Amino acid sequence: MNVILVSNRWAASRSIYLGGRHFALLLLLLFGLMAIVVIGVQFALLRFAPDDLALVLKSRMPVQLNRQVYERGSLDTLAIKLGEMQARVQRLDALGGRLVKLTGLKPSEFQFDQPPAQGGPLVSLGSMSSAGLAQQLDALTRVVADRSDKLVALETLLMQNQLSQALLPSSAPVSDVMYTSNFGWRLDPFTGRSAMHEGVDFMAEAGTSILASAGGVVVYADTHPQYGNMVEIDHGNDIVTRYAHASKLLVKVGQVVRRGDKIAEVGSTGRSTGNHLHFEVRYKGIAQNPVRFLQAG
């Protein structure tokens, strides 16, 4: 292709030869300029146009671009939900470990830090859409939240039960010593008449340690005309234990003791015929058979 250029300034005309390669380069340059102009106009319209016009223009953008933006937003949403689920599962693992300890089960039977074993034949139903996956994650999130609430409630009940058990006087107040006088009616050793014995007697040598049968608060630690040196411990729930005829008291009123703490020493003070511990359990002020509590322990 020859292009002839004519001008008054030139003495003779000039010609330019354009081959196929030159023509193709000109076409590419032209299309490139047109694309730049179109993109610039679209950006200007979306950036500076009124809101309603911008919405109309965005709705007319290529479908593929809209689809990519939507899929990217869906993936971001699913990633956030997945992170929340992982955090909830970690909390459930920790809660499960605490429940195993509270119930006394073997940790090897419930390994919460390892994924459960799974298997079975492959039955393929095709790939799941992002919308379907989002629905499944929502449903699973609700289930995990519900199970978490119920497990927390169960943990609270187990802790309350353990606390109640710790406050029941079910531990023997004297180690390796059997009781020698039962709860109930018997002949009084001083009068020889039938009288109610409101506790059990443990025969032991003087100075033997007297231990708190359960945790509680000391409400009496003094000398009594009939019980001699006596300690009373309030365990809550209207349950009180008495430790009588001691030779020495080692606690004071208001002191908090735990199960197994040494509170006194065996002696023969008050209305007593020899060294022993008189042990009582009272519920709402009424004497109960201590043997039932000790057998439960």
DSSP 209-272: EEE-SS-EEEEEEEEETTTEEEEEEE-STTEEEEEEEEEEE---TT-EE-TT-EEEEEB--SS-
Residue 16 identity (one-letter amino acid):
I
Weakest mean pLDDT among 82-91, 115-124, 214-223, 279-288: 115-124
Question: Quick one: which of 216, 188, 182 has its CA closest to 202?
Answer: 182
pLDDT digits (tens, 9 = 90+) for 153-195: 666 666 666 666 667 888 899 987 777 888 988 888 888 888 9
Answer whether residue 132 shows pLDDT above 80.
no
pLDDT digits (tens, 9 = 90+) for 203-218: 999 999 999 999 999 9
Most confident of 53-67, 153-167, 176-190, 245-259: 245-259
Answer whether residue 65 shows pLDDT above 80.
no
Q: Is the dihedral of CA 241, 246, 252, 255 positive or negative?
A: negative
pTM above the 0.95 mark?
Answer: no
Report the pLDDT value the prediction gives residue 12, as an integer from 0 to 100.
61
Give the single-character DSSP code of 116: P
Report the pLDDT value the prediction gives residue 190, as an integer from 0 to 100.
85
DSSP three-state, residue 267: strand
Report the pLDDT value the prediction gives residue 122, as an integer from 0 to 100.
62
Domain layout of the chain by residue ranges: 2-47, 63-112+131-166, 179-296
Answer whether residue 237 shows pLDDT above 70.
yes
**Averaged pLDDT for residues 126-135:** 68
- Structurally, what CATH architecture does the domain formed by 179-296 represent? Distorted Sandwich (2.70)
DSSP three-state, residue 273: coil
Q: Which residues make beta-bridge pairs with 2?
A: 17
**Averaged pLDDT for residues 137-155:** 74
> Which helix or strand (DSSP H or E) is residue 266 part of?
strand 262-266
Q: Which residues make beta-bridge pairs with 24?
A: none
Give the helix ranges, DSSP H, for the chain.
20-48, 51-59, 63-103, 130-166, 290-296
